[in-house]
Amino acid sequence: MIKNRFKLAIALTGAILLFEVLGSYLTNSLALASDAAHVFMDLFALSLSLFAIYLSEMPPTESKTYGWHRFEVFASFINGFLLIFISFVIFYEAYMRLLEPPPVKGAGVVVVATAGLLVNLFVAYLLKEGSKRDLNVKSAFFHVVGDVIASIGVIVAGVIIYLTDLFIFDPIISFIIGIIIITGSIKIILESSHILLEGVPRNIDFNNVVNDINSIEGVSGIHSLHLWSLCSNSYAFSAHIDIAAGTITRQKEILQTINDLLAHKYNIHYTTLQMECLSCVGEQLLRPIEHKNSEH
């Protein structure tokens, strides 16, 4: 179960955070401290993602008719901005160390970073499967993958420092870690923003959906179509369906055919379809949303 995997991942990440904080203090390594900061954000992200999973299981209410599913997207959105913030903190500290690189204990850095790498690899394994179908899990998974890459960079820096005493590699690796974090954060922000703005799911071709529905026997047109994501793996669809003259007795059959098509081919299970015997004059496939004042 994904919740149990999250709980184990949180426990392991918390342990490695304490280990890296202590290690960065003893070795005076900014690269290790940067990785610890990233691990802290991972811990926060994993906890937030687990909280989002529990919220998504809550039933709909009179005030939230879709339930809390979209909180997972909101959590991903927050995670992305938090990671960008921590990246700029890393950049600042790295810049200050570039001006005057302090001594760093390379051997200790390698030992601590290697332990972190092993734990992060296992946590990434725990989350990999769920990340393929859930943006919330995907954002948490990316945090961990970023830590894997960062740990490898810290190990490389530690080895170079141990062999050459070139302490400048500590802030250089920190800069690289920050760039990796920002790149992934931007992707998560863009993807979660697309869902929050009710964009068409990226894995669904809008025109293919329209053509498939129009090709169904008895359908003469479609308009006022809306296709959006409730969350990363739940899609919704609404439209007005024009049916050909003489098929009014087959409305139920046509409706079922459309629902089956949407569910089996496009994984769309939340549909609202309005069947109409005559086309609405002047109606468009994509109907603009008008802002109107309430009138009594």
Please check whether residue 82 lies inside any domain of the structure: yes
Sign of the torsion formed by the C-alpha atoms of 31, 42, 126 and 234: negative
pLDDT for 178 equals 82
Average pLDDT score, the chain: 82
pLDDT for 261 equals 94
Sign of the torsion formed by the C-alpha atoms of 135, 42, 111 and 5: negative
Same domain, 216 and 96: no
Same domain, 154 and 256: no
Please check whether residue 281 lies inside any domain of the structure: no
| Nearest CA among 46, 41, 38 for reference residue 11 | 46
> Which pLDDT tens digit goes with each residue over 37-62?
778 877 877 887 788 778 777 888 88
Tell me how many domains the chain contains: 2
- Confidence label for 291 from pLDDT (cuts 50, 70 and 90): low
- Confidence label for 136 from pLDDT (cuts 50, 70 and 90): low
* CATH (domain of 249): 3.30.70.1350
Query: Is-above-0.85 flag for pTM?
Result: no
